[in-house]
Amino acid sequence: VLDPTRASSPFRPHPGRLNLAPGLLALAIAGDLAGLSPAAGGYLIIAAGAAFLDRTGEAFIGRAALRTEILVLGGSSLLAGAGLILVGIAQLGAPLPATAGLHVALMGGLGLAVLAVFSIAGLLHAHQPLAFSRPTRIAAALLVAAVALRVLPVLGLLPQPPGPPFALAAALWAAAFLLWLKSYWPLLSSAATLAPPDDGSRPPGESVRDDAGCPS
């Protein structure tokens, strides 16, 4: 349920748009395994990337779209699509490394999607309101910053940070998930938050507050 208030009907995207991105990505992978030329494979990857970008249109309109819980889901599709398009145009001969696009799609798109699912599912399984805490928002920002520090220097859009190559990007990416773990571990390890709601296991009026910032 992606409705921020959980009060209206569930989010139901068009089935064609829902399956278009993974379907085109599977087609691009099949084409690569079949030995298509780099140009043909590049066009297929660009099509898959465009389909992921199209998924960002299946979002809320207005202030609800600016909620972190929505932004991380749309952002994961945005990064995945942008990364695949970079890979595709690199295969068509653009003077940029395809690895930059792979890092945007996987380190960024897939990484942010995993963090989003961990965060949303963690709250729902612990019977908490669907609202990200400050540490969770910071974790998402750290992950996006890590992708920027990994990719932008390679594209010549940012100076290479001091120290070993990509060490800062790797540290920020790991820090994002470590911060998530620190924030959510009290939720996911507490019998008080994992117990079914209203089952009488918690005394009336008792509230458990954890690092995720959510009262139980």
pLDDT tens digit string along 14-33? 666 778 899 999 999 999 99
Output 108 or 124, whichever has higher pLDDT: 108
Query: Is the CB of residue 16 less than 8 Å from the CB of residue 58?
Result: no
Q: Where does the pLDDT of residue 146 fall: very low under 50, low under 70, confident under 90, or very high at 90 and above? A: very high
Give the model's pLDDT for residue 56.
Answer: 83
Q: What is the arithmetic mean of pLDDT over 201-208?
A: 39
Output 203 or 4, whichever has higher pLDDT: 4
Where do we find the tokens 């799609």? 105
CA distance 16 to 76: 19
Give the model's pLDDT for residue 204.
Answer: 34
Helix or strand (DSSP H, E) at 141 = helix 134-151
Tokens found for residue 198: 């209203």
Q: What is the arithmetic mean of pLDDT over 154-183?
A: 92
Query: Is the pLDDT assigned to residue 199 strictly greater than 80?
Result: no
Output 214 or 158, whichever has higher pLDDT: 158
Query: Is the pLDDT assigned to residue 156 strictly greater than 80?
Result: yes
Indicate the domain borders of the chain: 15-190
Give the model's pLDDT for residue 61.
Answer: 63
Give the model's pLDDT for residue 17.
Answer: 72
Indicate the DSSP class of residue 6.
S
* Radius of gyration over every alpha carbon of the chain, rounded to an integer in angstroms: 20
CA distance 26 to 47: 11
Query: Is the CB of residue 78 less than 8 Å from the CB of residue 112?
Result: no
pLDDT one-digit tens code per residue, 58-93: 766 667 677 888 899 899 999 999 999 999 999 999
Tokens found for residue 164: 């070993």
Query: Is the pLDDT assigned to residue 138 strictly greater than 70?
Result: yes
User: What's this model's pTM, rounded to 2 decimal places?
Assistant: 0.80
Among candidate residues 110, 105, 48, the one with its CA nearest the CA of residue 82: 105
% of the chain at pLDDT higher than 90: 57
Output 193 or 36, whichever has higher pLDDT: 36
